[in-house]
Amino acid sequence: MSLLADENAVYLFGGYVAFWLLVLGYWWSLRRREQAVHRELTLWSEEE
């Protein structure tokens, strides 16, 4: 039976979508925090 024809395909794909949402969400959150810290560090070194 093909993947899409399976009666539980929605749960299988739902699980993998959830995986990628969590992983990419965390990657995005890390990026945002890194940018914020680097912005502050740059401001500080400019003040000095």
Partner 1 sequence: MSVAASSASEREASRRAERLTTVRRALGWASVPLLALALYMAFVYAPPEATMGQVYRIFFFHMPSAISAFAGFFVTFVASIAYLKTRRFTWDAWAVAGAEVGILFASVAIVTGSFWARPVWNTWWTWDPRLTTVTIMWLTYIAYLMLREAIDEPERRARLAAVMGIIAFANVPLVWLSARWFRTIHPVLFGGSNPDAKGDFALAPSMAQALMVGMVAILVLFGYFLVRRVQLEQARVHLMTRHYQDEEG
Min dist. Cβ of residue 37 to partner 1 (A): 5
C-beta closer to partner 1: residue 15 or 46:
15
Min dist. Cβ of residue 10 to partner 1 (A): 9
Q: Which residues contact 31 (CB under 8 A, 6 or more apart)?
A: none
* Binding of partner 1 by 24 (CB under 8 A): no
The residue to which tokens 């749960």 are assigned: 11
* Binding of partner 1 by 41 (CB under 8 A): yes
- Reduced to 3 states (helix: H, G, I; strand: E, B; else coil), residue 4 is coil
